[in-house]
Chain A
Amino acid sequence: MKYIDEYRERTAVESLSKEIFSAAKKPWSIMEICGGQTHSILKYDLEDLLPKEISLIHGPGCPVCVTPIELIDKAINIASKEDTIFTSFGDMLRVPGSKEDLLSIKAKGASVRIVYSPLDALKTAEQNRDHNVVFFAVGFETTAPANAMSIIEAKRRGLKNFSVLCSNVLIPPAIEALLESGKSRIQALLAAGHVCTVMGYEEYIPIAEKFKIPIVVTGFEPADILQGIFCAVKQLEEGRYNVENQYKRAVRREGNPAAINLLNKVFERSDRKWRGIGLIPKSGYKIRDEYSEFDAEEVFQTEDSTAEESQICIAGLVLQGIKKPVDCTAFGKHCIPEHPLGAPMVSSEGACSAYFRYKRSFG
């Protein structure tokens, strides 16, 4: 396919690998933020094309993984109610809550449906006026405008039976929290290309300056990722720490202003708990009061609860780049995609799932 295949060309990828070999003089640790990039790195064995001095740290960029366990329990609670149809992206169904997951309550008879787009959830609401239709709006800045659009459209269409359980999280505050904690040895960052397609990259400039680290906005194909790493290594070797855009075909400095306006209209920034990491100030979106009739937490008045995580699972450390999935004693044994202990084994962006799919024989 155009704009995909040419960035997977072996010759291009190998030549970029050589460029990195000649540019890297010292050992450097680079974090790729997005789980989609982690999957590309593992799928295409890109680490094998890097000098051993370059280590990649996998970041927290998996919205499914960081959705708090309490919110999963809340989703299960709502989905179990009578006359309710609960709609969600497929990735969320196997994510463990404190006792069960959405798939197991579906098996018991709850109406839980997988949708491809928030617009499909709206259509379900239009077709089932005698049911409450809830959409589990999980995602980073990439997905948040689509989630916001479902609320705007529900209002415009006068839908009274549609609401959204909102779990939208934001990347820059999480990066700052990770860098401030000093727990992982991040020296450069590959920023998530599709988050920046929506938001642009101006927010990253003060972060690069404050922590003196290069940040390279990077795409998802093998050549994109290696080019992003090359740009980061070059900056590190030269002692620079700028924000650079590798993914220029999709990302403009200002992002997509229409999508950003929509986000600001529907959501306001709020503190948010990240599963495995903890509370990060102003790292999430909550639905503004004027749209509260579409906020599932208001509609269903569910109570906040506290829930226990698995004692063995080290998902939190994996998400912060402190441990690799293969460091976990449960990896591939007690924890597999069909029976996950933690969310990173479930999601198509989770680091544990990437290692399980592509690197298990080395585990």
Chain B
Amino acid sequence: MCLAVPGKIVSVDESNPDLRMAKVNFGGIEKDVCIQWIDDVQIGDYVLVHVGFALNKIDQKEAEKTLEILKKALPKISTKGKAFKT
């Protein structure tokens, strides 16, 4: 139940200051999401969404850093596989 999914902010509705909302795109599917606990939301930001609420913004710099660490380790293996099964 602690599943949270990253999605991209496509529009923001701050007309109700007690319940700020956004439309968030999850790989093609759009949903209304409450962004009440997130400051300074910009269109194009990624947020982590759980039961209709954004828990936090995804920190793009930190995400890239993690990927850099993974990429650095890559030359150590010889065979390149396909994407991991989903």
Contact = CB atoms under 8 A, between A and B. Distances in A.
A9 B84 contact: yes
A347 B3 CA distance: 12
A139 B3 CA distance: 11
Contacts of A347: 1
Contacts, number: 159
Interface in B1-16: 1-6, 8
B52 A146 contact: yes
B53 to A, nearest CB: 5
Given A18-B77, A140-B2, A142-B4, A8 B63 contact: no
Contact size range, A: 35 or more
A77 interface: no
A63 B46 contact: no
A149 interface: yes
A249 B63 contact: yes
Interface of B: 1-6, 8, 18-19, 26-27, 34, 36-39, 46, 48, 50-53, 55-56, 58-60, 62-63, 65-67, 69-71, 73-74, 76-77, 80-86
B37 A262 contact: yes
Contact of A197 (B55, B65, B66): B55
Contacts of A256: 37-38, 55-56
Contacts of B50: 142-143, 146, 194
B1 A249 contact: no
Contacts of B55: 142, 145, 194, 197-198, 250, 256, 259
B3 to A, nearest CB: 6
